[in-house]
Structure 1
């Protein structure tokens, strides 16, 4: 609902209920992120003439690694002592939320290494292509945060400021002031990263000509976005109060450095000479 100078966000986070079980939009967004990634990988494999089993296995390795990594990352980075006291809640408390994007990234890196070994593919091949899926997937997850009225920003007088009236944190710390909808900021930046990577892959064939560059650009698009937007975000945990950089920023720095290195590595090495194939030509080649 739009009012003068701010937006009242009173969105019901529950998509539908089955008895006492609530299916939330946040979970739906995670499912859409995973399905989009699987569909994109299927497209990459068909375009490059790889067997169908390759795209099927990425769904298993990528999905499990991402979800396990996201959950363990939250438990390790944000609530370490609580989960050390009650480690079983890592599993039993899953429905209460608690997924960390940095943990998902680490889990996905491990999952992709296992996937690459199983399918006898260069690790860098998998890394370049997964970043395209990560761009659109990250946008879906941040929209899920918006539907949950969580992980928003500090107070603002900008006309697109939001009042998250379903959030106890907003009611306690900011009401009646509007705050930055940082979930939307991040989602838009991730969509821009996704669009750029799609153009570089499909239009410029950069993944095959200069391995590693797409991975590096994707890391910069995702984690530089996260690093800078964190300056106008509220802290996720009480222990972050007073920090010059919050936990999300500290965890983003290694990925930013890795991204710079991968771009430098891809640019400094000689370009790989490849023959461009259209999707139709690739499928035709497979049938011979």
Structure 2
């Protein structure tokens, strides 16, 4: 069976010694799209531009720092503990979505304390730009031919020629499509269900995102630099707490 072959150069543009990577373009698109969406939300609900600009700063710092630390200590702790200066070498690659999620929530906590806002209100509304952010990041992974899936003979399997000659599940595309669908679901609920209980959007976000992540991990190649005796992958083990919290938020929202 012939499969689609993907081997795009990670470098999108070159200007002498300056190189612009596809991943950087998609990461910037993720940030800008999230920013524009939260601007629309703040304008729709009468929040100040000043507090919105500050939210952008808090969010970016929280996501980047959390994602980097998550990659270092969730997926390859032995290496980074032995080489601590490599932790700050973000340009070498390595960002973990679970760590980015934790960093983002911590950043929002500091933000709402300073601007005297309701934490649950903000968590609910941050789910939508976060979902579209995740979509762009996974498409950046696809451009880099990274986070590839296991070998497959399915018609839509892809040969990532920069990795090897085998047809594989496009796991990054699976995730990207899932996150885009979740973005549309959350936006639909936000716009049409005006009587949604506080916390329900955040609960739905965690439940759907990490259910998708848990299932897609079954067709992903190993990401962690170590192995455990447990059959589940590191990504699945990290998804379980988020999934439980999401279900808990949904139950709490309806009982409150």
Q: Under a length normalisation based on structure 1, what TM-score does the superposition of the two structures give?
A: 0.86
What CA distance in whole angstroms lies between the structure 2 residues aligned with 1:205 and 1:132? 16
Q: Which sits farther off after the overlay, 233-242 or 156-165?
A: 233-242
**Residue among 57, 66, 70 paired with 2:54:** 57
Cα distance in 1, alignment partners of residues 194 and 17 from structure 2: 49
Determine whether 1:134 maps to 2:130.
yes
Deviations, residues 204-232 of structure 1 (Å, cap 9, x unaligned): 125xx411000000111211111010011
Tell whether 2:97 aligns with 1:108. Answer: no
2:224–2:234 CA contact under 8 A, matched in 1: no
Q: Which residue of the other structure, out of 170, 177, 181, is the alignment partner of 2:170?
A: 181
User: Is the Cα contact below 8 Å between 2:199 and 2:249 reproduced in 1?
Assistant: yes
Find the counterpart in structure 1 of residue 193 from structure 2. 204
Distance 2:21 2:35 in 1: 22
Aligned equivalents of 2:5 and 2:228: distance in 1? 27
Structure 1 residue 76 displacement after superposition: 0.9
Q: CA RMSD in A?
A: 1.4
Query: Structure 1 stretch 197-206 or stretch 253-262: which is displaced more?
Result: 197-206
Q: Quick check: which has more Rg, 1 or 2? A: 1
Q: Does 1:260 align with 2:247?
A: yes
Q: Is the 8 A contact 1:5 1:160 kept in 2?
A: no
- The aligned counterpart of 1:27 is 24
Deviation of 1:242 (Å): 6.2
Give the structure 1 partner of residue 4 of structure 2: 7
1:164 is aligned to 160
| CA–CA separation in structure 1 for the residues paired with 2:47 and 2:111 | 14
1:167-218 deviation line (CA, Å, top 9, x unaligned): 2xxx2xxx3x310001111111101100000001111125xx4110000001
* Partner residue in 2 for 1:191: 180
Task: State the match for 1:274 in structure 2.
Answer: none
Taking structure 2 as the reference length, what is the TM-score of the superposition? 0.96
Deviation at 1:238, TM superposition (A): 4.0
Q: How much has 1:243 moved relative to structure 2?
A: 4.2
CA offset at residue 35 of structure 1? 1.2
Give the Å deviation of 1:240.
3.1
The within-5 A match list for 1:207-226 is: 209-226=196-213
Unaligned residue ranges in structure 2 (runs of 5+): none
5+ residue gaps, structure 1, are 270-288
Instruction: Give the Cα separation in 2 of the matches to 1:225 and 1:46.
Output: 31
Q: Equivalents in 1 of 2:212, 2:150: separation in Å?
A: 17
Is the CA contact (8 Å cut-off) linking 1:5 and 1:161 kept in structure 2?
Answer: no
Question: Which residue of structure 2 aligns with residue 73 of structure 1?
Answer: 70
